[in-house]
Every structure is written in C-alpha cells, then in structure tokens.
Amino acid sequence: MDTAKFEEVFEAKLAKNDFIEPKDWMPENYRKHLIRQVSQHAHSEIVGMLPEGNWITRAPSLRAKLVLLAKVQDEGGHGLYLYTAAESLGISRDEMLNALLTGKAKYSSIFNYPTLTWADIGAIGWLVDGAAIMNQVMLQRSSYGPYSRAMVRICKEESFHQRQGYESITHLAFGTPEQKAMAQDALNRWWFPTLMMFGPPDRESPNSENALKWRIKRETNDQLRQRFVNQTVKQVEYLGLTVPDKHLKWNEAKQGYDFSEPDWDEFKNVIKGNGICNKERLASRNKAHSEGAWVRAAAEAYGKKQPEKEAA
Amino acid sequence: MNSNEALFNYTLRLGDTSLILAQRLSEWTGHGPFLEEDLALTNIALDILGRGKSLLEYAAQIEGKGRSADDLAFFRNEREYFNALIVEQSNGDYAKTMLRQAFIDCFDLLFYTELAKSKDSVLAGIAAKSVKEITYHKRHSFSWIKRFGNGTEESASRLQHAFDELWQFTGELFEMTETDTILIKENIAVDLATLKPMWEKEIQELLREAHINIPETTFMQKGSRQGLHTEYLGFILAEMQTLPRMHPTAKW
Ligand SMILES: [Fe+2]
Ligand SMILES: [Fe+2]
C-alpha cells in the first residue's frame, strides 16, 4: 500500500470512532502531536506530586495522612500509565525524562503555585483535580487506544480525588473560624490559577482543528472554563465561601455565570518559568533523579550479573 | 501495672513504631530514585500507616479515657512516645532506608506471624492482615540489599555505611519489659526472646549475601521502652503535630 492508502484507512478509522493502535499506521503529525500531549500530561502528574507531597508529613489527622499519601501515589501512577502510553508512540522514557529535567518539556503551570497552608490540599483536590477532570473526560474517547484506556482509569481516580478534596475543604469551611479563614484564603489563591488550567481564551488559541478531528479535544477552552465556573460556584455557595471575583454574576440569558478573566500576563509569565515555584519544582525533580542515579546503576549492574551466575 | 495498662502500653508501642516508620517512609514520596520505586515505597508506607492507625485506634479504646487515635498521635510529647529507636532514624540515602526496612521487615514478619496467634482477637486480627503485607515488604527490601551488596562499588560502600549507622539500633527490638511479661503470661504478647535467634539467622544470611560483615560485638542502644529517644523524634513530632497543636479544637 502507498501512503495515500494508509491515510485512507486511518481516516476511515477516525470516521468510525475506532481506535488507532500502536501498530497501526498514523500520520507523522498525529504521532508528534500525541507524543507532546501525552508526555506533557505525564510530566504534569509527576510534578504535581510535589506541591501535595509537601504536606504529607504535616497532614493533621491519621485519616487525612492516609488519604493524601494515597492520592499522591495515584498521581504517580497516572504518570506511569501515561509514560507507557507515550512510549507506545515510539519515544523512550529517558528521552521524556530528559526533556522534563532540562526544562525543555512543559507541564501544567498550576503546579508552580505553592501550597502554603493545609487548606491548599483540599483546594487542589476540589478545584485542580476538578478542572483536570473537566479537561480530561473527553480524552477517554480520544482516538489513540492506549491514551484513551489510560484516561478511563485516570478519570475514575481523579473524580475520587475531587470528592476527597471537597470533603476536606468542607471540614474547614464548617470548622473553626480559623479553619474557615484558611479555606477562604486557599480559594482566593487557587481560583484564578485553576481557571487558567483550561488554557488561553479561544480568541487567542491557535486553531485546534486537528485536535478536534483526532478526538483529543472536544470542546473549546472557553466552553470548558464556563462549565467549570457554573458547576463550582454552587459548591462555593454551599460552603459559605466567596468566589474572589467581584464581577461574578448569574446571566439568565446564557444560563451561566459571567466572570472575570484570569490575569493572562501572569499565566504567560508562569509558563515562561517565573512562577514562585518553577525553579524549585525542577530542582526537586533533578535532585531526586541525580541522587537516584547510583540506585539505578546498582540495580542494572546486579541485573547484568544474574544471568552470568546462572550460567556458571 | 494491671493487665489493661499493660495491653495499652503494648499496643501503643506497636502503634507508635508503625506510625513513625510510615512518617519517615512518606518523606520519600515524590522523591524516589525512579518512578516505579517511588510508587512501591509509598505503597509500603501506606500499609504501615494503615496498621499504625488501627493499632492506635485500639490503644485509644483500651485506654478508655475518651482519647482518640488522633489524640494519641498528635497530642503526646517526645517522652510519651514508645516507637523503636530504629524507625525514627533519618532516611539517609536509599541504602540506609532499605537496610532499616530490611531489619524491620524481617523482625515484623516473625513478630506479626506470632501475634496473629494472640489471645487478644483485635491484635490477632490486625497482625493477620499485616503478615500478608509484610511478606511483600520484606521481599522488596531484601532484594534491594542484595542488589546493593552485589551491584556497584558505590552501592556496596553505601550499604556498608548504612550498616555501620543502623546496626546499633537493632538490639532494642527484642527488649522486653514488665509489660511483655504480664501479657506473655496471658498469651497475648509475643515472647521476643524466641524471635531473636530466627531474626539473627535470617539477617546474617542476608548480610553475607550482601558482603557485609557483622562485627562480633556491638554496643546496642536502647531507651524507647522508657520513652527515651534520639534527637530525631522531637523534629518528627514537631512537623507531624504542628496543625492539630495550632488548632486544638479543630476537626479535620
Ligand atoms: Fe492525576
Ligand atoms: Fe488527581
């Protein structure tokens, strides 16, 4: 078959909502786009372990400690599924890791914000995992089989995290005045960064025609952002907290809230590497990697000696 | 000491040891030598933390003074903690963390296997569940010790260094007090003297495979049975207890 024929088969699969599998032919730009998207997603999960991991040793109850430890472990597991999915597209784990460690690869900017108080842990589960789900639900039906299957599993766990985060923030919102203030402060700091997670406004977003066709995107950034706000405002009200946006207002005509845009200059600045934690996150990943080098080397050396021993 | 007090002390000792070890292990989460290992170690920390929580809940119930497991964990001071000294030692490098773990896993598997036969059904139940977990933990830590001992020059020397730091804290694991005596009579506690030769045999074998020489005599540290610790514990508690102490009336 020539390329045109392959392309035809590929297009036909997309049209029928069939999955593209690792061994199937795929256009080079499809492969590239997916490698970038899936590896970035994996990096986000791994870097995302840091701001929350920061509070494991300080979790205020035994149950909270168990829940947080398990959550951070889940995020690492998500990273692992996603790296594996990306590997099936023909990139090695070392290449991806290297891109992350050298600062070449991107990861979700939200993790460059600091977790300053315990309430941030609840806020991350509730808002950040909540926004992640909204972004990711559609990826469960993405055209690339391994990615789609990884996302089914991940989304299930993310919604569990979101419920736990909301439960944690509920304890605070209905707790002592200090706890409630802590919850409000966390909401104040995480609200706009969370809205940024849906990406730049549609008017500035480059044409995502391919992403839509390949079913790695289904709704636009602004549509998703709007849905998130509509859903979350109700929860904020139930908690007796206040959305830190004085322009927030119900719009009867559009059956949704009007709200202020996040500060896109700040968004670009954090992406550029100027968030308060950018350097620390990368340094932290690099430290773990370089301090683990002798461990990996020992395992490799030992592994190589084993067959020799058996042969002898 | 009546037997209820003895049971409280005993359960508290076991609960504290699990909690402080889990606290130490969880410091690794997100910082492991590679992703799969990070996940494996976190899993181990989760098992041990779960066990610690069950034990402290039971201790609180035995005490019957209205304190909860969280009260026991977050509102006791350094001198009221009875965890084994070895679990509070710093993580150091991965050789030290894994060697500490191998010493404890080997002890715990013997110990909880026996405790599963305890006349106290709650302790026996917690122990039975733990045996399955510890079997896996031990396989994991033992395999790392073999890798380090037979891996590279660097891994072997790091393992030796870890051994030199940790060995002095292993003797205390077998120390028995009045608490043990009372509960052994009631077929509740494990006679640690019977475990010691089995532990020594297994550890000697492991260390021989890893090319570590056990010195003929080593001074063995002790103190935790009296709530006397190394300087590490104060820092562990300061970090762990900060929020509940700052907000003593809060629920989380
Ligand atoms: Fe995740
Ligand atoms: Fe999550």
Tell me: the pLDDT tens digits for B94-106? 999 999 999 999 9
Q: Give B236→chain A minimum CA distance, Å.
A: 9
Residue A1: per-residue pLDDT? 63
To the nearest 10 degrees (0 to 180), the angle between helices A221-239 and A145-173 is 30
| Per-residue model confidence as pLDDT tens digits over B121-147 | 999 999 999 999 999 999 999 999 999
**B57 secondary structure, DSSP code:** H
Interface of B with A in 222-251 (CB under 8 A): 239-240, 242-244, 247, 249-251
Sketch the domain layout of chain B as residue ranges.
Answer: 3-246
**CB pair distance less than 8 Å for B32 and A284:** no
Write down the pTM of the prediction: 0.96
Which amino acid is residue A220, in one-letter code?
T
Dist. CA B150 → ligand 2 center (Å):
38
| Per-residue model confidence as pLDDT tens digits over A6-33 | 999 999 998 898 999 999 999 999 999 9
Look at residue B159 and give its three-state secondary structure. Answer: helix
Dist. CA A98 → ligand 1 center (Å):
21
**CB pair distance less than 8 Å for A62 and B35:** no
CA distances from A223 to A37, A139, A206, B103 (A): 20, 16, 15, 56
Average pLDDT over residues A159-188: 98
**CB pair distance less than 8 Å for A62 and B46:** no
Dist. CA A161 → ligand 2 center (Å):
5
Confirm if B225 and B82 have CB atoms less than 8 A apart: yes
Q: What angle do CA A172, A175, A180 make, to 5 degrees?
A: 55
Closest-CA residue to B226 (of B172, B181, B171, B155): B172
Residue of B nearest to A300 (CA): B151
Residue A217: per-residue pLDDT? 74
Interchain contact A83–B (C-beta under 8 A): yes
Instruction: Tell whether the model's pLDDT for residue A220 goes beyond 90.
Output: no
Instruction: Tell whether the model's pLDDT for residue B19 goes beyond 70.
Output: yes
Please report which confidence band the pLDDT of residue A212 belongs to, taking 50, 70 and 90 as the band edges. confident
Average pLDDT over residues A90-100: 97
Closest-CA residue to B86 (of B72, B102, B73): B102
CA distance A180 to B181: 49
Residue A208: per-residue pLDDT? 64
Residue A207: per-residue pLDDT? 55
Average pLDDT over residues B213-217: 86
Q: What is the mean pLDDT of chain A?
A: 94
Instruction: Tell whether the model's pLDDT for residue A209 goes beyond 90.
Output: no
Please report residues of A whose CB lies closer than 8 A to that of B69. 62
| Per-residue model confidence as pLDDT tens digits over B32-87 | 999 999 999 999 999 999 999 999 999 999 999 999 999 999 999 999 999 999 99
Q: What is the mean pLDDT of chain B?
A: 97
CA distance A306 to B11: 43
Q: What is the DSSP string of B85-129?
A: HHHHS---SHHHHHHHHHHHHHHHHHHHHHHTT-SSHHHHHHHHH
The token pair that represents A214 in the structure block: 């390949």
Interface of A with B in 217-246 (CB under 8 A): none
Instruction: Tell whether the model's pLDDT for residue A219 goes beyond 90.
Output: no
The proportion of chain A whose per-residue pLDDT surpasses 90, expressed as a percent, equals 87
Q: Give A73→chain B minimum CA distance, Å.
A: 6
The proportion of chain B whose per-residue pLDDT surpasses 70, expressed as a percent, equals 100
**CB pair distance less than 8 Å for B34 and A292:** yes
CATH no. for B3-246: 1.20.1260.10
Residue A283: per-residue pLDDT? 96
Average pLDDT over residues B174-196: 98
